[in-house]
Amino acid sequence: MSLSRRGFISSVSAGRSGPASVALIAARGREAAVGESWPYDYQAAPAARTGNQIRISSNENPLGPGKTAVDALLGNFGQYGRYPFNSRPLDVEFEAAIGKKFNVKRENVVLGAGSGEILRNAVRAFTSGSKALVTGTCSFENCPRTAEQIGSPVKLVALDSKLRLDLDGMAAAAKGAGLVFFCNPNNPTATVHGASAVAEFVKKIRQTSPDTAILIDEAYFDYVTDPSYATAVPLAMENPNVFVTRTFSKAYGMAGLRAGYAIGQPETIKKLARFKMPYNVSVPTQTAAVASLGDQPHIDAERKRNTEVRDFTVKAFESWGYKPTASQGNFIFVDLRRPAKAFRDACAANGVMIGRDFPPYEKTHSRISIGTMEEMQKAVDVFKRVLTTATTTAERGR
């Protein structure tokens, strides 16, 4: 369906106060919407195509971007015919805005079409047929999938008993490796490691395998409430071959606009930039992202909202006797003691779309993204009904 400039402005402005107001920007529920063509997800049930489903499958911000970003986006249409190097804001201005936020220089920043592009480029830049990728299992699949595509070996390290990344195991596996992918908070388990553990992890790898690059993915940084946690940007600025990735797809609510970045020492950033797609961040995206960087009250409000709804959802599962991990993201990973697919399909039949399988935990655990409070209240009713029905059926079959 085509969308004129006037139609776009009307569709966004008319409902800006509600969750549907910026659906085109947030691209919410894309995994479920495209169904079987999406390589990571299941074929959506018929309810997914009605537009009335609760889409809590893709770790998106259910409210989309803040008013500051939307106003900037709508006010800059005159620039959208320009290339990013010839527009306002320029792509270099976007890099400078990120540098200002973290007190680093432009040369310490590389942009990506979401952090996903940078993760893929990192595998290309630092791994090879003789230089493996090291990551946890399970963790975000982007890096190992890319490594498999280009023929780089992958070393998978099992999670610890709390479903956290096993940092000692990953450090041991890193000797001679090309790249370590460290997702913190980890997706899909929502668990984190505190600042001191991260610093020790980096120190250990730098001592035993100094040529190994370390990618610390902080996609869910803005949702963390654990006081021991802190950004690893200072570590990246102090250590060669260490870099941090961030995205605007989560708390900033711009999954559909595709913006991300990495921060590290100049030589590390140059290696990543060699693989960057030219003009990878569009002018509308730059416009919204630059405006968002200055809107900390929006991020603070989003963290507070997410924490309240996450706590509500966790308490519901705990009250039924199911144990979620210690979530520090905008999603939870819960042990339902049954296959994720069976639970997912039953929820989908009731209009609630939840996450795909995550091996090797697909027989027991499900990932559930956090929607609005209204959505989660409705979803919790569905979860209870599905779990109760499944339990009753199982007991009758004994």
Residue 262 lies in a domain: yes
How buried is 383 (Cβ within 10 angstroms: 0-12 exposed, 13-18 middle, 19+ buried)?
Answer: buried
- For residues 302 and 184, state if they share a domain: no
Helices (H) then strands (E): counts for the chain: 15, 12
Q: Which residues contact 345 (CB under 8 A, 6 or more apart)?
A: 42, 45
Tens-place pLDDT, residues 62-79: 999 999 999 999 999 999
- For residues 49 and 103, state if they share a domain: no
- For residues 311 and 286, state if they share a domain: no
Which of 241, 274, 293 finishes a domain? 293
Which of 264, 293, 322 finishes a domain? 293
Span 330-347, mean pLDDT? 97
- For residues 287 and 347, state if they share a domain: no
Name the pLDDT band for 87 (thresholds 50, 70, 90): confident
* CATH at residue 236: 3.40.640.10
Q: What is the domain range of residue 323?
A: 5-61+296-392
- For residues 268 and 174, state if they share a domain: yes
* CATH at residue 41: 3.90.1150.10
- For residues 105 and 127, state if they share a domain: yes
In terms of Cα–Cα distance, which of 213, 156, 173 is closest to 360?
156
Radius of gyration of the chain (CA): 21
Domain count, the chain: 2
Q: Which residues contact 379 (CB under 8 A, 6 or more apart)?
A: 54, 56, 313, 347, 352, 368, 371
Cα gap 265→100, rounded to integer Å: 15
Instruction: State the average pLDDT for the chain.
Output: 89
- For residues 287 and 301, state if they share a domain: no
Query: Would you say 353 and 50 are in contact if contact means Cβ atoms under 8 Å apart?
Result: no
- For residues 169 and 23, state if they share a domain: no
Global model pTM greater than 0.85: yes
Asked if residue 366 has pLDDT above 80, the reply is yes
Lowest mean pLDDT among 10-14, 55-59, 154-158, 274-278: 10-14
> According to the model, what pLDDT value does residue 85 have?
87
- For residues 154 and 31, state if they share a domain: no
Asked if residue 35 has pLDDT above 60, the reply is no
Query: Would you say 56 and 373 are in contact if contact means Cβ atoms under 8 Å apart?
Result: no
Cα gap 358→112, rounded to integer Å: 26
- For residues 95 and 23, state if they share a domain: no
Q: Which residues contact 235 (CB under 8 A, 6 or more apart)?
A: 198, 199, 202, 216, 242, 244
Which of 246, 276, 293 finishes a domain? 293
